Amino acid sequence: MSRLRLLSAAALLAMAANAHASSFIVTTDSIVNGLKASSDATSDVSSSFRDDKIVRAARDDAASFVASEGAIRGVKLESALDHIRQQAPQLNSTDAQLAQAILTI
């Protein structure tokens, strides 16, 4: 009887380890896919608005916004965010993502 319990315990531990590995992989994939989507949106914005005067004028405000973690919102940044969202309504980016994209231009 003790061998049966030992084998059962070993099988249960093996299944539990496999379940943890699977959930880790799913979690990691979710995070990576989210970062990739954010990166794609940032590169779309930075390449589309590279020569846009409104967006380029907002660089200092974008830097302040990013450095203050959103506490400082300048008028030029607000104007640029509105402009970007009007020109590219398909983007589902946060203000922080757009501000970072403006800084990459």
Model pLDDT, residue 49: 74
pLDDT digits (tens, 9 = 90+) for 19-59: 554 455 555 555 555 555 555 555 555 556 777 888 889 99
**What's the chain's average pLDDT?**
75
pLDDT digits (tens, 9 = 90+) for 86-95: 988 888 889 9
HEC profile of the chain: CHHHHHHHHHHHHHHHHHHHHHHHHHHHHHHHHHHHHHHHHHHHHHHHCCCCHHHHHCHHHHHHHHHCCCCCCCHHHHHHHHHHHHHCCCCCCCHHHHHHHHHHC
How many independent structural domains does the chain possess?
1
Question: Percent of the chain at pLDDT above 90?
Answer: 26
Position 105 confidence tier, pLDDT thresholds 50, 70, 90: confident
Which domain range does residue 32 map to? 2-104
- Report whether pLDDT(74) > 70: yes
